[in-house]
Amino acid sequence: MFRKRNGYTLLLVLAMTISLLAGCADSKNEPNNSGGNVENGSNAGSNNAGNGGNNAEADGLSGHLVTKDPLELTIHMHFADRVSYQDDWPVFQKAAELTNISLKGTAPSSATNSQELFNITMASGELPDIVHFNMKDVYDNYGVEGAFEPLNDLIDEHAPNIKALFEERPELKRYATASDGNIYYINFIPDGQVAKGWFIREDWLEKLQLEAPKTVDELYTVMKAFREQDPNGNGQKDEVPYFARVKSAALDFLVFWNANRGLYLADSKIGFGPYEDAYKTGVQNIAEWYKEGLIDPEIFTRGSKGRDIMLREDRGGITHDWLGSTAGYNDLLQGERPDFAFMPLLPPASIDGQMREETKRAEVTSSGWGIASTSKHKVEAIKYFDFWFSEEGRRLMNFGIEGVHYDMIDGKPIFKEEYLNAENGTLAALQEDGVQIEIGFHQNFDYERQWSNAIALQGEDMYTKANVFMEQYPTLSYANEERDRLTTLKSAIETYVEEMSQKWILGAEDLTDDSFAAFQKSLKNMGVEEMLQLEQQAYDRFMSQ
């Protein structure tokens, strides 16, 4: 069963639903593939070395060779409505040299609807050896129906690198496992931790002789001063203390009152923030700040250019947004405003004294690949998958080809200048050659550190060192009927929560004890408890795998 939408739109809708409900807002806004293919440097040095370098020796083959003679496997790969497998990608040609396995793409490059193409392929009944996709639970359900090969035994017997990674990080294996207990899909595993962070105009703090806020009360004081004391010095009260480029960011303050914006996990129990009293307290405070002019009056309507407008017009003081692109404004505005300093700030402590960052980069993503149950080359295919998890395969997918994309300097792959300074961006330039394609592989954030702004790296180091991340809602696998029911429940609940929260914050309706009790009652009538029970069931199954 597929919705009649293209894959990318559906993915975005899913991502939005997940991010709204699970509280990790708007990763969709960061211009990276799937929002996962970026990260910080904490894991930068680690790799799979020592996890078993190659799987060929037992077969009397040397190095990474999967077969004695070259073998071509067919692959369906078309995702994000624009990326299809290219037979001439240098990185995959290099892999063919090393493994003797070359891939032959079956998806037409001219196609522009990945979801439709996947549906057609699946309906054709003639699957290529390898099928790639970027919606794992859709894929898994085809696996449960028999279209894809269960990989559990193949991994045990032929994929030492994948097996070792699963042993080292059991949560990855849990995520890989479908609702029937089998693994059908080896997914892309991003690296790094920091997603969004708080930023503040440090030059404004200096001008007003204020310290960087360390608590929610100090944050209020600073925002009030930004509003009242004309830090941009134009004689007008035109400052907007807090601004954002997504409307959900109005709720980014909830953490300060220990409230959750959506589904959350605490001590193995799943809860829903808006159904709890802390949400009332949080929204009441946000509404008060809004009334006092501390939050952009147009926060719900300003749209994706909000950050750009507020910074370029020299009116915005504080935001909570992705580190890389936000830090980038220091470079962008350096020429016209040399004093401009928009610097990362650790999350001010909540009312209970704890620092909390609500967002964190995903540990897993929904992109990956598996093997058709009709393939005559399952063992070769799993060995080929495993190659990408070897030290050499991992370096190849993360950094490309030595001498072409990078040089080894002091034992580290360092990208060549032409890629670091590529006009269309480093990631896009690399992907044109088949580097950083979201197959099943383990990313190494070193690849991104090399082209990250120094201020972004400073923020990443601050957040990682202070370890301020809240426990993230896991990416669960749902059976078909669970997913269908949850989609129905969530779309109604989410719309209602968003509408009411917006009315309260804008002051269009009063948020009183009575009105909140009525809101909770409506949520109950809309099936919030059934939603929690279905999520808990999926979570318990996830933990038992």
**Residue whose C-alpha is closest to residue 430's, from 444, 440, 416:** 416
Look at residues 77, 70, 129, 74 and name the one whose alpha carbon lies nearest to residue 101: 70
- Which positions from 499 through 518 interact with Ca ion, judged by CB under 5 A? none
How far is 99 from 302, CA to CA, in rounded Å?
52
In angstroms, what is the minimal distance from the CB of 233 to Ca ion? 7
Give the residue with the Cβ less far from Ca ion, 238 or 540: 238
Window of 13-21, 176-184, 228-236, 299-307 that interacts with Ca ion by CB under 5 A: 228-236
Q: Which is nearer to Ca ion, 32 or 232 (CB)?
A: 232
Minimum CB–partner distance for residue 172 and Ca ion (Å): 50
**What is the DSSP annotation of 181-228?**
S-B--EE-B------EEEEEEHHHHHHTT-PPP-BHHHHHHHHHHHHH
Q: Minimum CB separation from Ca ion for residue 78, in Å?
A: 51
Between 207 and 416, CB nearer to Ca ion: 207
The piece of 63-71, 223-231, 474-482, 490-498 that touches Ca ion (CB under 5 A) is 223-231
Stretch that binds Ca ion, among 192-200, 233-241, 303-311, 533-541 (CB under 5 A): 233-241
Q: Which of 218, 230, 494, 498 binds Ca ion (CB under 5 A)?
A: 230
Residue range at the interface with Ca ion (CB under 5 A); choices 222-230, 280-288, 351-359, 488-496: 222-230
What is the footprint of Ca ion within residues 150-209 (CB under 5 A)? none
Residue 316 vs 459, nearer CB to Ca ion: 316
Q: Give how far the C-alpha of residue 242 lies from the chain's centroid of Cα atoms, to the nearest Å.
A: 24
| Residue 354 to residue 258: CA distance in whole angstroms | 9
Nearest approach, Cβ of residue 315 and Ca ion (Å): 7
Tell which positions 235-294 bind Ca ion, by CB under 5 A.
236, 238
Q: In the bound complex, what is the minimum distance in angstroms from residue 314's beta carbon to Ca ion?
A: 8
Q: Does 301 bind Ca ion (CB under 5 A)?
A: no
Nearer to Ca ion, 204 or 220 (CB): 204
Contact 21, 262 (CB under 8 A): yes
Least distance from Ca ion to the Cβ atom of residue 416, Å: 45
Cα 341 from Cα 199, distance rounded (Å): 10
Our CB check for Ca ion shows the closer of 292 and 509 to be 292
Q: How far is CA 267 from CA 128, 270, 536, in A?
A: 43, 8, 12
382 close to 151: Cβ distance less than 8 angstroms: yes
Per-residue binding letters, 372-401, with Ca ion (x by CB under 5 A): ------------------------------
Q: Tokens at residue 63, please?
A: 């190095």
The nearer residue to Ca ion, 231 or 434, going by C-beta atoms, is 231
Q: Looking at 234, 354, 467, 512, which residue binds Ca ion (CB under 5 A)?
A: 234
Inter-residue long-range contacts of 515-520, CB under 8 Å, 24+ positions, other chains counted: 516/277, 516/279, 516/280, 519/274, 520/275
Which residue(s) pair with 306 in the sheet? none
For Ca ion, the closer of residues 233 and 303 by Cβ is 233
CB contact at 8 A, 80 and 114:
yes
Q: Which of 40, 232, 375, 472 binds Ca ion (CB under 5 A)?
A: 232
Give exposure, 171-181, as e/b (b: 16+ Cβ within 10 Å): ebbbbbbbbee
DSSP secondary structure code for residue 322 in this structure: E
Spatial separation of the C-alpha atoms in residues 92 and 397, rounded to whole Å:
9
Between 204 and 322, name the residue whose CB sits nearer to Ca ion: 204
- Helix (H) / strand (E) element for 421: namely none
Nearest Cα to Cα of residue 165 among 49, 278, 296: 49
Helix axes 277-291, 480-506, angle to 10 degrees: 40
Using CB under 5 A, count the residues that bind Ca ion.
Answer: 5
Between the alpha carbon of residue 421 and those of residues 243, 244, 430, 437, the distances in Å are: 30, 28, 11, 20
- Cβ-based nearer residue to Ca ion, 33 or 232: 232
Q: Least separation, in Å, of the C-beta of 138 and Ca ion? A: 51
> Rounded to the nearest whole angstrom, what is the least distance from the CB of residue 328 to Ca ion in the complex?
24
Give the shortest CB-230-to-Ca ion separation in angstroms: 4
Report in angstroms how near the CB of residue 357 gets to Ca ion at its nearest: 30
**Residue 45 class from Cβ within 10 Å (0-12 exposed, 13-18 middle, 19+ buried)?**
exposed
The footprint of Ca ion (CB under 5 A) covers 230, 232, 234, 236, 238
